[in-house]
Structure 1
Amino acid sequence: MASNQLARPYAAAVFELASASGRREEWSGTLAVLAYIAADERVARVLRAPRLSPDERAELVLGIAGDDIEEGARNLVRLMAINGRLPVLPDVAHRYEALRAEAEGTVDAWITSAAELDEGQRERVSASLRKRLDREIRLHCEVDPSLIGGAVIRAGDLVIDGSLKGRLERLTSRLAH
């Protein structure tokens, strides 16, 4: 079974709980912390150790997370440890964010550009995506000089490669055939 399928019921349960309590944003932060911990290779290696009991696995994650983790999240970690699902915490967080974005009518969009974008450029990209996707946009920007020029935009299933590097690769591919 794919890890996303294993994560789905946990994400759905957490999303239902977070929605009912009006704490979607807080749960986003909590799940991000737990996902970060579970994804750390050193922690993942220890979690895979066969000699640890489910309680010890849960306490390892919760000990690293610290005292700021609320009881509902502690119970989630314990349940996932009992079911041997702590390694899918990153997928639970990812699926939860997808459920939250759907419910709130938002989408995360990543723009990777060859150079830093100014505020006006970021706003134009956001406005264009908002119009095209009919959703509010949470824009995340990063710089990758290897793109040579232009940018690559990813929002959900949409990928727009307007980079010079992408254009050159497509041209090279066409010329090779």
Structure 2
Amino acid sequence: MTGNIVARRYAKALFALGVKEKAADTFGKDLDGLAGAMNTAPELLKLFKSPSFNVQEKKAVLNDVVAKLNMAPLSVNFLSVLADKGRLDCLPDIQETYAELLDETSGVVRGKLTTAMEIPAKRQKDIKAKLEKKSGKKLVLDFGVEPAILGGVVLRVGDKVLDASLRAQLQLLKEQIKRGE
């Protein structure tokens, strides 16, 4: 819980700076790049969390990574502040919160549509266009396949879930039979 509060505060501070400097998108890309590097090399996050390494050692590793990612100077300064405060381990949460703030101000909504079988690309575009029209917002939609839903779709957009899967309908029917309806 504390990590999320800390991450939210740092993300909001960076976002406010990004809006002021008209570099919010740049900061978002920089954080995405660093989070991607941390996902591909999990030992990087372990190093940032480890109390065995001092701030200078963590900064040295961070500077090597930042140099390869070609980040904006203000992003590098922000990361340096995180290192000084011992908060580099909060980077994944900071990146996630920052992305949410960026999406919110850009009017972008993220979601995931899960089906039992692969949907052709043209059909995916049609579904996305219809959902965007219905919501009135730009939608970033990930498509997934989960054979366990048997048929139908499960749509998750933000904190809302529409479960129109055959599995869910069978579960409802099972509950009705148990209750004797």
- CA distance in 2: counterparts of 1:19 and 1:54, whole angstroms: 29
Provide structure 1 residue ranges, at least 5 long, that are not aligned to the other structure.
none
Distance 1:168 1:88, change over 3 A: farther
**Contact residue 18 and residue 24 of structure 1 kept, 8 A:** yes
Aligned twin of 2:53: 52
Aligned twin of 1:96: 98
Alpha carbon RMSD of aligned pairs, Å?
Answer: 2.4
**Structure whose CA Rg is larger:** 2
Aligned twin of 1:36: 36
TM-score normalized by the length of structure 1: 0.83
Distance 1:6 1:173, change over 3 A: farther
CA shift for structure 1 position 131: 4.3
- For residue 11 of structure 1, what is the amino acid of its counterpart? A
CA shift for structure 1 position 173: 5.0
Provide structure 2 residue ranges, at least 5 long, that are not aligned to the other structure.
none
Structure 2 residue corresponding to 1:81, chosen from 68, 74, 83? 83
**Contact residue 36 and residue 90 of structure 1 kept, 8 A:** no
- For residue 155 of structure 1, what is the amino acid of its counterpart? V
Equivalent pairs: percent with the same residue?
Answer: 27
**Contact residue 38 and residue 89 of structure 1 kept, 8 A:** no
CA shift for structure 1 position 103: 0.9
TM-score normalized by the length of structure 2: 0.81
CA shift for structure 1 position 119: 4.0
CA shift for structure 1 position 51: 2.3
